[in-house]
Structure 1
Amino acid sequence: MAIASFNGFGPGSQPGEEDGGELQYMEMPNSMATFAAPILPEKEEVVRLDAALAVLEAVAGSLAGHHANAENAVHDLSGLDGANLDLVNQVLGEGEVSIICGADLQAQESVLAGVWRVRRTGADGRLARDVIEVGPFPSNVLARAFAGCRNALALPSAYPAGVFNAPPLLSEICDHIPLVGPGVEPHVINLSLLPHTEEDLVFLDDLLGRGHVAILSRGYGNCRVTTTGTRDVWWVRFYNSTDAVILNTIEVTALPEVVRAAPEDVADSRQRLLEILGAYR
């Protein structure tokens, strides 16, 4: 499951500075399939693929048992041979959300919302772990999202020339970081509706820092989400069909809603998977 890469801001999406410098953002996943019903083999073609069907039945069971406070269920695929793995790949397909976490961890939501394919590679680049995870978002990605990041921002005593609106925004961010927790709504700062200079954006980007996670979500149009180097602070950007930014926000939250599988979607995924498996019973 290769995921290509692109820049978080497309060329020309922000005006260059007078000295020729440009805002540079971490590489993002490039493209992914939008939803399409999987093309599945006929019943007689899977008669010897009991291992794959058993895994998929177990995934259906995890979907049935999932609830808001449940830990993600993990189903290891390392024991499957090529033919069984091919069937799992066909059933899962590729859905709306792609994730890169550091150099060794990738996740792809399947066509079944809340069912994720999570792969980790070793230092040699070879596949080290291949699992299906059932839950709102891959747990390993979330656990590593802010690993090594600062827990708070130290506000500077002076600001560079051209920085006007960044200082109050930074104070607002600092005020909300300690509040993040279960049941707390995300705090969203809509930069698209606020006056700001190019210097404000550069300063915010430099001070917040760069994180480990890059996400592409097509569930609500073309949305690209990245972690910063500051705990629980995310950049969330929406793009139009010409790759121009139409909404630029900073979210202070444990996980932006746009990349989280909703409970009703998880329930719908169980029904769809049961319908698929019903054809093979």
Structure 2
Amino acid sequence: MNEIDIPVSVTGPGSQPAENDGASLDILQLPDEMSTFSMPEMPEPDQVQDLDSGMAALTELDEVLQHQAKVRDIKPEVVDITHLDRENSSLVDQVLGEGEVSMVYRSADTSARIQESVMAGIWRIRYYNQQEETTVDTIEVARVPRLCRRHVFSQAAHRADSQLKSIPEGVLNAPPLLAEINDKVSEYRPGKESHVINLTLLPQTEQDLAFLIERLGEGSLTILSRGYGNCRITSTAVQNVWWVQYFNSQDKNILNTLEIGDVPAVAAAANEDIQESARRLNEIMEAYR
């Protein structure tokens, strides 16, 4: 798809002449809330004296983080806490807290719920069977959980269905977008910069969007990031293709994009985040040593 020049004009209250009927220009409100770090409320040292298993898991996590903070190429490391009883597991939950990114993964035989800690790059991951029983309970240190890269697109198609024999009425601009998507999917390699298609800036009918949704299909992972407003990310049934949608505080969609590439950066922790999380967790653990 060829790039187009988008004319820039100034809009806003007072920038346009008043309407004859007294109506005023309604400006879409941008996100006005941003999540910030707050130290989780910690139990007193005497309250954890009998929670040796939970403290051992947190100590192991602290050691993993201290190592990860010193390396440039961070590889996911897992602390298995499936064996913890309810009290020890609750201690871990209390220390980690709930951060701004959460995920739900569903496949034919398993599902997972993933919650980032208030300390970025620490992920609490619970796996469930078809009966919704917990099968594995882990803490993972990573920029994004390895599940996102190993399994999300393991059964995905290598290209979107772009045959044009039966295009519904009202579909105008989606077919060339499918061709662009397929080109970028075939070109993508791990480590390459993601390709972004900004649907908000393109002329799209409701039928176009419905056609894209139908042809790209539904994937196995949904991500919600609440760092600045709300960002909803969903994987599609085509390899390395993601829907990325931003909503303001009134839950209005203000940006609708498709990304072809790695897990969108808005859902990933940076190396600097993990270094900071290592410092914070170490400070917490010092109180119990």
TM-score, length-scaled by structure 2:
0.81
Of residues 118, 131, 139, the one that matches 1:124 is 131
Q: Which residue of 1 aligns with 2:191?
A: 183
Q: Give the RMSD, CA atoms, in angstroms.
A: 1.7
For residues 154 and 123 of structure 1, do their structure 2 counterparts lie closer, same or farther at Cα, with a shift above 3 Å needed? closer
Q: Deviations over 1:133-190 (max 9, x none)?
A: 1101111243221232211123213433222211221121111112222321111101
Q: Which residue of 1 aligns with 2:41?
A: 39
Of residues 83, 88, 99, the one that matches 1:84 is 88
Preserved CA contact (<8 Å) 2:99 2:119:
yes
Q: Percent identity?
A: 45
Secondary structure of the residue aligned to 2:237 is coil
Out of 67-76 and 123-132, give the one that drifted further: 67-76
For residues 44 and 240 of structure 1, do their structure 2 counterparts lie closer, same or farther at Cα, with a shift above 3 Å needed? same
Q: Which residue of 1 aligns with 2:275?
A: 267
Secondary structure of the residue aligned to 2:138 is strand
Secondary structure of the residue aligned to 2:154 is coil
Secondary structure of the residue aligned to 2:87 is helix
TM-score, length-scaled by structure 1:
0.84
Q: How many residues align?
A: 249
Runs of 5+ unmatched residues, structure 2: 1-34
Secondary structure of the residue aligned to 1:108 is strand
**Distance (whole Å) between structure 2 residues aligned to residue 213 and residue 222 of structure 1:** 17
Q: Deviations over 1:34-90 (max 9, x none)?
A: 754211111222223232222112112222222453431111112223332221111
Out of 110-119 and 146-155, give the one that drifted further: 146-155
Counterpart residue identity of residue 86, structure 2: G
**Distance (whole Å) between structure 1 residues aligned to residue 83 and residue 210 of structure 2:** 48
Of residues 113, 136, 147, the one that matches 2:120 is 113
Out of 60-69 and 267-276, give the one that drifted further: 60-69
Q: Which residue of 2 aligns with 1:56?
A: 58
Preserved CA contact (<8 Å) 1:39 1:90:
yes
Q: Deviations over 1:222-265 (max 9, x none)?
A: 00000111110000000011111000000001211011111111
Out of 56-65 and 209-218, give the one that drifted further: 56-65
Runs of 5+ unmatched residues, structure 1: 1-32
Counterpart residue identity of residue 214, structure 1: T
Secondary structure of the residue aligned to 2:168 is coil
